[in-house]
Amino acid sequence: MSESAPARQEMTVQERWLAGGFLGVGLLLRLLYLWHYRVDSDEPQHLHVVWAWTRGLLPYRDVFDNHAPVFQALCAPLFYLLGVRPDILLPMRLAELPLYLATIYAVWRIAASLYSPRTALWTTVLAALCPPLRFSDDFHFDGFYLSSIEFRPDQLWALLWLIILLLLVTGRATPGRAFIAGLLCGFAFGVSMKTTLLLVTLGLSLVGALLLHRAAGGLDVEWARLWRCLGAGLTGIPWVPGLVVCYFYAHRATRPLYDCVITHNILPGSSLHALSNGTIKCCLLGLVAAIAGGYLISRLPKPIAVRTRISFVYFAGLLYFATLKGFWPVITEEDYLPFYPAIMLTVGPAMLWLVAFTVRSTHFAGPLLAGAEMIGILVTASPFQDETVDKIGMVADTLKLTAPDDFVMDSKGETIYRKRPFRYVLESRTFHRMKMGAIADDIPAQLIWTRAPLATTLRMPHEARDFIKTNYVPIAWRLFVLGKVLSEEGADAHHPCVFQVAVPQRYTLVTPSGPPAGTLDGTPFIAPRELAAGKHIFVPEGSIDHVVLIWACALERGYSPFAKIKIDHTTPQD
């Protein structure tokens, strides 16, 4: 992990340009990925909350969200300026690009303070292009490069984590520096409650670094200064969370804030998860990796102070991973975003040293590894294949089919610009609470109460999905509109078609050849009409083809229940 003085001096201008070329190509590819990379279900969920801010709706009180509010609130002005557009996700993704660049810059600053210029530069490149890794179906990672493309608060959270490490590693420990780090920790709490893991990690990393410092024969620690720094850091943490609480208190919404961000995320039985065999195994493996890595770092031919800082960075990345895997009850790919750049600060130099030792050249180690990372990214996802079309089209169809005050029953806010009849997002925590009886599964009742004209069956509980399939008809990709098939094989003249309406709305009747002639509830059917909930009878004048009852607005806005709909293929991102 170290280089001799002659090797450091041999870093050529060509090598710098080559490293810059990798970064430049990675940036250009990233611009393509921003527009083409598949859409994760969390992205429109966050955008739905951002939309709520722009409409004067208060998250938690008026719109459900189980994430901390700062990121969505910061994004609201840009969302408002961009206006209502089906592809709103794409420019909002672009707005996160500066966060990615700032994170990589922080990696470079930290690496430059610990290693030689060559190692620091190529470590930065490796962190920027960190690709997906798949060891098995149960043990795989999306990698930093692709995960950070998605619109989500975790990219800001990862940046704050790297800046905190930058403050703690690259300068002398002072109360002022510690206070700023504490403020940033509080800011991180405003972005994600998983910051509790980062704080635990920081504490454990500090202990580990002090132990290594003592074992390596370093000077005695200035305990008085250390305690002053710890006090200053703890003093800085409450400011941002305090401001958030004060804001919601002023709007009489502290209880909804607590229920959504705290209560909803703490699953019943999660304490048992912390005592499980998996948690114990993660802790033991983390301890073994920490001891082994700490020993190797203590043997580096570097000053003790530098070795101590390297160990702190190593423990910060490793122990975050161990605490996340061991103690967090529900883990998603985005939870690893702070892990990738942090761990690459020590794994990157180790990989560079290993490859340089293998090929007997320090010049080729960086390009070989960066090239392998680039290939890994391109093999995983093509930057030229647009995988956003269907979900952007879903938003476009919703905007055409519904008015701003209509309710749309989606699972996590896929339609972005419309309120849900059911308060909660339909994800693992909600399903767990439904199973435990903590959340009432009253989706059909809410569909009726709000007269919701549009719905999707994706992620719906069985009862809700059956209700939608019975009382709605497919109208576009993943979208169902109010209505039902009265006769698939046609109907004879004067033969009554009896049907039930569950959701009162304005309906019409249609066949493949146009409106049917006949009587509806005893009066001539000549135009759409409001139908109450209950039994209705349509009697055709003559023999007719396939008859469908449908929400009248859908037909008036150019949609047909007889149009061919693209086959839906669900993915892990749904």
Q: What is the dihedral of CA 253, 255, 260, 261, to 10 degrees?
A: 90
* Number of C-beta neighbours around residue 125 at 10 A: 27
Transcribe 470-537 into DSSP letters. Answer: HHEEEEETTEEEEEEEEESS-B-TT--EEEEESS-EEEEEEBTTBPPPEEETTEE--S-EEE-SEEEE
Tell me the H-state helices in 275-388.
Answer: 277-298, 304-327, 339-359, 362-380
Q: What is the dihedral of CA 386, 388, 389, 392, to 10 degrees?
A: -160
* Number of C-beta neighbours around residue 420 at 10 A: 24
Contact (CB, 8 A) for 261 and 193: yes
> C-alpha angle 376/382/387, rounded to 5°?
135
Contact (CB, 8 A) for 77 and 132: no
Amino acid at 261: V
Rounded distance, CA 120 to CA 143, Å? 20
Q: What is the reported pLDDT for 31?
A: 96
Reduce the DSSP state of residue 272 to 3 states and report it: helix
Contact (CB, 8 A) for 232 and 36: no
φ, ψ at 472 (rounded to 5°): -135, 155
Show the tokens assigned to 321. Answer: 């991973």
- Name the percent of the chain in helix, strand, coil, to the closest 5: 55, 10, 35
Contact (CB, 8 A) for 47 and 79: yes
Tens of pLDDT, residue by residue, the chain (574 residues): 445 444 444 678 888 999 999 999 999 999 999 999 999 999 999 999 999 999 999 999 999 999 999 999 999 999 999 999 999 999 999 999 999 999 999 999 999 999 999 999 999 999 999 998 876 565 667 889 999 999 999 999 999 999 999 999 998 889 999 999 999 999 999 999 989 999 999 999 999 999 998 888 877 788 888 899 999 999 999 999 999 999 999 999 999 999 999 999 887 665 545 556 667 788 888 889 999 999 999 999 999 999 999 999 999 999 999 888 877 777 788 889 999 999 999 999 999 999 998 988 888 899 999 999 999 999 999 999 999 999 999 999 999 999 999 999 999 999 999 999 999 999 989 998 999 889 999 999 999 999 999 999 999 999 999 999 999 999 999 999 999 998 766 667 778 889 999 999 999 999 998 899 999 999 999 999 999 999 999 999 888 878 999 999 999 999 999 999 999 888 888 7
What digits encode the pLDDT tens for the residues 204-257?
Answer: 999 999 999 888 887 778 888 889 999 999 999 999 999 999 999 999 999 999
Q: What is the reported pLDDT for 10?
A: 60
DSSP lists the bridge partners of residue 471 as none
DSSP lists the bridge partners of residue 473 as 481
Show the tokens assigned to 479. Answer: 């979208």
Contacts for 201 with CB less than 8 Å, ≥ 6 apart: 315, 316, 319, 320, 323
